[in-house]
Structure 1
Amino acid sequence: MKIKVSDIMIPDVIVATPYDTVGGLREVMLDEGVHAIPVVDGEYMPLGILTSSDLMKEVSPNTFVCEVMTPVPVFTVPKYSDIHVAARIMRNHKLHHVVVTHEKQLVGILSTFDFLQLVDEHRFELKNAPTESKRHGDKRS
């Protein structure tokens, strides 16, 4: 079974606009426990991404997100892509997050944590999968 990006992505994404403030989004990130917030236009087209690394810069809380976000090109992956496509993009560009799109609009986000969770789930399934008995028959003496 091939696993698609849409199978492991986070669909309910907190988003920002270019003119939200850094201070406001810093609070959102802390409260929600997220490390990246996609920045979108009015039609949910990705314009950039604000990451916890961007927030480490010395900027006023009143600074607009567009001044500190990682801008275009935003690395995106279509939601129906196989997960290896997303993994390759993230590895090749040293990304911890990639924006998931459908017809160029944001529909989710995928992080390295989502991949780790997938690996852990498959490890559990493999570890607990039924195995053949080592007994070669049911002969009793």
Structure 2
Amino acid sequence: MNVKIQDLMTSQVLTAQRHQSVSHARDLMSSNGIHALPIVDSEGEPVGIVTTSDVLGDLNPNGKISAIMSANVVTIPAYGEPRVAARTMRNQHFHHLIVTHEKKVVGILSTFDLLLLVEDHRFEEKGAQRSGMPRWTRRQNKKSSAD
């Protein structure tokens, strides 16, 4: 099995910009059922990430995303290997990694995405017959980009 990050990631990821409001991020995440929102600059390059835990609580809804985002952005290339992503997530205690190609956000990878890969791999190792595509391929193209 030669699986790459691009095979596992959610490829049409929603993004926001640091000047937008906290309420914008909260609403975007809530209405789309997402748990992490990459924050990008005007060139589409990642400058931060906001997660569900960042937007919980009694925050100023008119405050800027830049005030609550994690600026410690760790990215992984789309052609990277899942084991590298898993090691990075474990070592950094992250649940999401921003996936890039030529410095632009092209997707997001979650621990859930990696768990689906592990689950399918273990299923295949047992030699069980299965129909259809692996579960991790079903998460492709779930979300569309937004400003």
Which TM-score bucket, shorter chain as reference?
0.7 to 0.9
Counterpart in the other structure of 1:49: 49
Q: Secondary structure at the match of 2:20?
A: coil
Cα distance in 1 between the residues matched to 2:84 and 2:100: 13
Counterpart in the other structure of 1:100: 99
Comparing 10-19 with 58-67, greater Cα deviation is found at 58-67
What is the identity, as a one-letter code, of the residue corresponding to 1:27?
Answer: D
Q: Secondary structure at the match of 2:93?
A: coil
What is the identity, as a one-letter code, of the residue corresponding to 2:87?
Answer: R
Cα distance in 1 between the residues matched to 2:56 and 2:25: 13
Cα distance in 2 between the residues matched to 1:117 and 1:31: 24
Comparing 22-31 with 7-16, greater Cα deviation is found at 22-31
Counterpart in the other structure of 1:67: 67
What is the identity, as a one-letter code, of the residue corresponding to 1:65?
Answer: I
Q: Secondary structure at the match of 1:58?
A: coil
Matched, 1:19 2:19: yes
Q: How many residues are aligned here?
A: 129
The CA deviation at 1:128 is 5.0
The CA deviation at 1:52 is 0.8
Cα distance in 2 between the residues matched to 1:78 and 1:24: 28
TM-score if structure 2 supplies the norm length? 0.82
Q: Secondary structure at the match of 2:100?
A: strand
TM-score if structure 1 supplies the norm length? 0.85
Seq. identity, %: 47
The CA deviation at 1:127 is 4.0
Task: Please list every run of 5 or more consecutive structure 2 residues that lacks an aligned counterpart in the other structure.
Answer: 130-147
Q: Secondary structure at the match of 2:16?
A: coil
Task: Please list every run of 5 or more consecutive structure 1 residues that lacks an aligned counterpart in the other structure.
Answer: 131-141
Deviations 1:37-93 (A, max 9, x none): 00001111000001111112531111110111001x300001111111111110000
